[in-house]
Structure 1
């Protein structure tokens, strides 16, 4: 029996997902590595997407890693429903491995130090989402592994709100890292507008994108799911609480 590693995400993740899939093929982590995206609903993956008729999701040799920052309705319900019979891993953004990518994004524009602040900005909690729990966990990891004097969080749809962020930072220098897997409407327009970046005083980075730490995170989630040997959609995803448990 062969193993298939399937990277699944919304359309805006396509470029990044394909890059990670290519790296994983070179690493030889699975017999097949496929990247597939959808525009509106995960059902599109089977109905008209690139995996239609491929047999993906039909057996217990398929492992699905969502290209998402945190568990939400799609990762815990819609994707497992569309790809029944597959093993469903945690979204890649929950992995400790992506912290290196977040730190690298920040350090590329603001050097860590006691007088520097790092702010992690995410979408926030909505129905079926664990964005808050995941973002806070990654912020804790950044506090433990970087030398920034302050690591804080802000959200688009809940408090602490993005538009208040610049007034709440304590550092003389500050960098904002959007906690998204790839560029999207939120990272390209909504967050910069709410931060009023054109006023200056804040540096802003790209999301995780094609950073190799994301590739490492995907590989780690795949290895964990394969070792567990359980967690098909008929039962529940491997883990969905956003904390890795």
Structure 2
């Protein structure tokens, strides 16, 4: 293969993206697998990307960067969906929750996302993952909350009904929001609420990246059906 898989995201995603890239190189999914990041604006990207380059955004859902900024900065490349939008990521979120609190009828999960009012797709994606968790996991309650919108992250501990509860940050990688803003708003120092890791280097995310690449190749080739590498999010 002579094509390139390019993982693109904000600077805080670089370490996580590099781990996925290393795994994808081992799988031999493309001729080259690279990572490029930017601080605030995709226009900062300084990389050559031609029609043999497939770009996968390291983001949880479509937003201004993934729909406008990155394609605008890399106009010749072929653009895939962001990693967090895949149904397979539900499996990663379930695993992150399980690492902190065992699933049971008396246990509650809150998916906590950024919640920018201009990012309707991000909220919809969060709600879709929560709905899948309700159907596929053994948690008695699954809710959503947001850093910048209602239901607010500050209210999570008061809104959950289970005897045991965990907040799962729906973020691709550790960042200021997951390390500082959310812990403060969730009042983690009070105890009584577990806090999970973000998606990070979970293998379901790697699978999703590979599946997005396969889908883009199939579309380019005019293939009607493609067997995805990623699962549907079931446990």
If the length of structure 1 is used for normalisation, what is the TM-score?
A: 0.87
Structure 1 segments unaligned to the other structure (5+ residues): 231-245
Residue 205 (1) aligns with residue 192 (2) = no
Residue 30 (1) aligns with residue 30 (2) = yes
CA contact (8 A) 1:178 1:206 kept: yes
Query: CA deviation digits over 1:18-57, x for unaligned, max 9?
Result: 01001001101111111111112112212xxxx3xxx42x
Deviation at 1:125, TM superposition (A): 3.3
Give me the whole-angstrom Cα distance separating, in 1, the residues matched to 2:140 and 2:117: 30
Structure 1 residue corresponding to 2:155, chosen from 137, 158, 164: 164
Name whichever of 136-145 and 188-197 sits farther off: 136-145
> Aligned with 2:95: secondary structure?
helix
Structure 2 segments unaligned to the other structure (5+ residues): 222-235
Give me the whole-angstrom Cα distance separating, in 1, the residues matched to 2:39 and 2:6: 17
Give me the whole-angstrom Cα distance separating, in 1, the residues matched to 2:120 and 2:79: 16
> What residue number does 1:148 align with?
139
Residue 133 (1) aligns with residue 124 (2) = yes
Give 1:47-58 correspondences, 5 Å limit. 51=47, 55-56=48-49, 58=50
> Aligned with 1:93: secondary structure?
helix
Deviation at 1:127, TM superposition (A): 2.2
> What residue number does 2:228 align with?
none
Give 1:57-206 correspondences, 5 Å limit. 58-59=50-51, 61-206=52-197
Deviation at 1:210, TM superposition (A): 1.0
Name whichever of 11-20 and 129-138 sits farther off: 129-138
Q: Which has the higher contact order (CA 8 A, sep 6+)?
A: 1
Deviation at 1:5, TM superposition (A): 0.7
> Aligned with 2:108: secondary structure?
strand
> What residue number does 1:20 align with?
20
Query: CA deviation digits over 1:77-106, x for unaligned, max 9?
Result: 000000002111111000111111111111
Deviation at 1:215, TM superposition (A): 0.5
Calculate the aligned-residue CA RMSD, in Å: 1.3
Deviation at 1:151, TM superposition (A): 0.7
> Aligned with 1:229: secondary structure?
helix
> Aligned with 2:42: secondary structure?
coil
Change (3 A) 1:87 1:121: same
Q: Which runs of 4+ in 1 moved over 2 A?
A: 125-129
Give me the whole-angstrom Cα distance separating, in 2, the residues matched to 1:15 and 1:216: 17
If the length of structure 2 is used for normalisation, what is the TM-score?
A: 0.91
CA contact (8 A) 1:70 1:129 kept: no
Give me the whole-angstrom Cα distance separating, in 1, the residues matched to 2:117 and 2:213: 27
Give 1:1-20 correspondences, 5 Å limit. 2-20=2-20
> What residue number does 1:43 align with?
43
Deviation at 1:129, TM superposition (A): 4.8
